[in-house]
A and B are shown apart, each in its own frame.
Chain A
Amino acid sequence: MDYFLGLIINGIVVGSIYSMVALGLVLIYKATEVVNFAQGELLMIGAYICLEIIHVTGMPFLVSFLMTMGFMVILALAIERLVLRRMMGAHALAVIMATIGIGIILRAVVLGVWGATSIPFPEVFPRQGIDLGVVTVSQLYLWSFILSLAFMAMFGAFFKFTRVGLVMRATASSRKAAESMGVPLTKIFAIAWIISAVVSGVGGVLTGNIAGLSPELSFYGVKVFPAVILGGLDSIVGATISGVIIGVLENLGGGYLKDLTGLHGLGPVAPFFILVAILWVRPTGLFGRKDIEKL
């Protein structure tokens, strides 16, 4: 029972990070109609930058963390200005290829600067467990979970209650109407990229804390896809919930499938099985709209 609960809690923690990164992916898709294939690389670069800031400046984690977020903002603006804005009106596939290119560049930078070996993250949150009554949870996990939730709540509130949020929602539902209302699309796209890069960076730092740093972190971009597809590519709520579902499935799969089948590494594959099964029943995902193009 403890083993089971442990897997579930592990899954929820990892899943909450997936949720956050999935939110970033959905946000860019909703605002710009482009699937960002560099999402995992943004996560990876965030983790490395945070580590580098800690090493070089010796500043406390919180300051380095905030500086990392600042870096992600600048990186997002650079990507938007230098690559995506120039491709306005280009075929969606071309833009997707460009994001793949950005991902490759970021990975090359990481390999060039930090190498391919895994680097441990300095301990920020103690790994000692806290007794929550039913189960003992590592403080690191607890903090990761709380931070992901806090970031998601913050951006949720931003979309729901601010004017920029309203304008972003409006732009996602009809670009031509938003533009005719005086909404500068490029600014909205830039904000979407900024938020998306920041949440990915945060996800990277948290994941790095849990698992250490390696270029493998970029694989998170792929891992987040089942969450996004499961939730419906255009649903922020869906992505958030599905992220946790995928995290839990992955952990349960990793925990039990090995014993059942004698095969290693089935954990990360498990969500994809479920994904395919769900898409048979609901091709637009659990929360996706049926008719994305209405007019």
Chain B
Amino acid sequence: MAATLLEVQQVGLNFGGVQALMDVSFSVSQGELFSIIGPNGAGKTTLFDCISGRYTPKGSIRINGVELVGQKSHLRPKLGIMRTFQNIALFPNETVEDNILVGSDYRLRSGLLRSCLYWSPLGCSRQEGSHRAQAREIMAELGVEQFANVPASELAYGTQKRVELARAMVAQPALLLLDEPMAGMTSGEKMEIAALVQKLNQERGITVVMIEHDMGVVMEISHRVLVLDFGRRIALGPPLEVIEDPLVRRAYLGEAV
């Protein structure tokens, strides 16, 4: 078994009286492709928001042993965590390349003044060039390089999803959090994205945690699956085991899938 990358321990969160997450614990190993499933409102995205710092839950979330709870959101990329959003959150007026360049930014940042000087058009450095090269490479890998100079809002939905994935990739994350990367796609597009996610996982060794509703895809590409229902973990294991679990069946049958 590979080393543990992400460790979630007894995470709980309530919004007012609503218990969004209750005592959720699991860990993800280095190099794993890990899926989170569950009916709508089960707390999947909330869990992502806890990992990526939008919410501060009870309990502990560690990456490579470093505690994340209580740390600022914008420090996540430095710790190797990048994410995509359920409803695409690209910068609509910026070009695809610029969208991706924002993601490669955090490594440049050391002191406000220095970064301002550094980024001045005159001081455009080797690093700026290498960032652009890197962005090009990622765009090519995800098949969006022909849209480099197109504003993100002008792209088709499926392409926007790819761009968002590219943007998350450029920071060379250790852990990629994908929130429904295939939602709203045709089955052909889904297959392509699934293949892409698998490729990133296998060839680049990126650990992936993915929320996805398409059970076919989840069953096919995941190493392990976590099932949430009403904020609780109801099952965790290899896909085939999980799908046979009576609790899972009840959660899904009750939900009329």
8 A Cβ contacts from B52-83 to A: 52-54, 72-78, 82-83
Q: Which residue of B lies closest to A157 (CB)?
A: B121
Partner of A295, one of B73, B89, B93, B116: B89
Query: How far is B101's CA from A157's CA once the two chains are assembled, in angstroms?
Result: 18
Determine whether the beta carbon of A177 is less than 8 Å from that of B74. Answer: no
Stretch at the interface among B16-24, B102-110, B230-238, B241-249: B102-110
**B115 neighbours in A (Cβ, 8 Å):** 163-164
User: Does A128 reach chain B (CB closer than 8 Å)?
Assistant: no
User: Does A180 reach chain B (CB closer than 8 Å)?
Assistant: yes
Query: How far is B148's CA from A92's CA once the two chains are assembled, in angstroms?
Result: 36
**A177 neighbours in B (Cβ, 8 Å):** 85, 89-91
User: Does B92 reach chain A (CB closer than 8 Å)?
Assistant: yes
Q: Which residue of B lies closest to A178 (CB)?
A: B102
Q: Which residue of A lies closest to B90 (CB)?
A: A177
Determine whether the beta carbon of A167 is less than 8 Å from that of B105. Answer: yes
User: Does A184 reach chain B (CB closer than 8 Å)?
Assistant: yes
Interface string of B113-138 (1 = CB under 8 A from A): 00110011100000010000000000
Query: How far is B115's CA from A190's CA once the two chains are assembled, in angstroms?
Result: 14
**B121 neighbours in A (Cβ, 8 Å):** 157, 161-162
Partner of B106, one of A162, A173, A176, A183: A183
**A184 neighbours in B (Cβ, 8 Å):** 72, 74, 109
User: Does A132 reach chain B (CB closer than 8 Å)?
Assistant: no
Interface string of A173-213 (1 = CB under 8 A from B): 11011111111110100110000000000000000000000
User: Does A85 reach chain B (CB closer than 8 Å)?
Assistant: no
**A179 neighbours in B (Cβ, 8 Å):** 53, 73-74
**A183 neighbours in B (Cβ, 8 Å):** 74, 102, 105-106
**A162 neighbours in B (Cβ, 8 Å):** 119-121
**B171 neighbours in A (Cβ, 8 Å):** 181-182
Determine whether the beta carbon of B94 is less than 8 Å from that of A169. Answer: yes
Partner of A181, one of B77, B108, B112: B77
Determine whether the beta carbon of B92 is less than 8 Å from that of A170. Answer: no
Determine whether the beta carbon of A174 is less than 8 Å from that of B105. Answer: no
Whether A166 touches B98, Cβ cut-off 8 Å, given contacts A182-B171, A184-B109, A295-B87, is yes
User: Does A294 reach chain B (CB closer than 8 Å)?
Assistant: yes
Query: How far is B155's CA from A191's CA once the two chains are assembled, in angstroms?
Result: 31
**B224 neighbours in A (Cβ, 8 Å):** none
User: Does B44 reach chain A (CB closer than 8 Å)?
Assistant: no
Interface string of A87-114 (1 = CB under 8 A from B): 0000000000000000000000000000
User: Does B167 reach chain A (CB closer than 8 Å)?
Assistant: yes
Q: Which residue of B lies closest to A163 (CB)?
A: B119
Interface size on B, residues (CB 8 A): 38
Query: How far is B102's CA from A182's CA once the two chains are assembled, in angstroms?
Result: 9
**A157 neighbours in B (Cβ, 8 Å):** 121
Most chain A CB within 10 A, of B93, B102, B115, is at: B102
Determine whether the beta carbon of B73 is less than 8 Å from that of A180. Answer: yes
Whether A181 touches B85, Cβ cut-off 8 Å, given contacts A164-B119, A170-B91, A187-B112, is no
Determine whether the beta carbon of A167 is less than 8 Å from that of B85. Answer: no
Interface string of A265-295 (1 = CB under 8 A from B): 0000000000000000000000000000011
Partner of A166, one of B72, B76, B102: B102
Whether A163 touches B105, Cβ cut-off 8 Å, given contacts A169-B94, A173-B92, A177-B89, is yes
Determine whether the beta carbon of A169 is less than 8 Å from that of B93. Answer: yes
Q: Which residue of A lies closest to B86 (CB)?
A: A295
Determine whether the beta carbon of A190 is less than 8 Å from that of B112. Answer: yes
Determine whether the beta carbon of B92 is less than 8 Å from that of A294. Answer: yes
Q: Which residue of A lies closest to B53 (CB)?
A: A179
Query: From residue B116, how far is it (CB to closest CB) to chain A in Å?
Result: 6
Whether A173 touches B94, Cβ cut-off 8 Å, given contacts A167-B105, A183-B102, A187-B112, is yes
Whether A174 touches B98, Cβ cut-off 8 Å, given contacts A163-B119, A181-B167, A182-B76, is no
Residue numbers of B with Cβ under 8 A of A are: 52-54, 72-78, 82-83, 85, 87, 89-94, 98-99, 101-103, 105-106, 108-109, 112, 115-116, 119-121, 128, 167, 171
A-B pairs, top 3 by smallest CB distance, nearest first, are A182-B106, A182-B77, A177-B89
Q: List 22 A-B contacts (CB under 8 A).
A: A157-B121, A162-B119, A163-B101, A163-B108, A164-B115, A166-B98, A166-B101, A167-B105, A169-B93, A169-B94, A170-B102, A177-B89, A177-B91, A179-B74, A180-B83, A181-B171, A182-B77, A182-B109, A183-B102, A184-B109, A185-B74, A190-B112
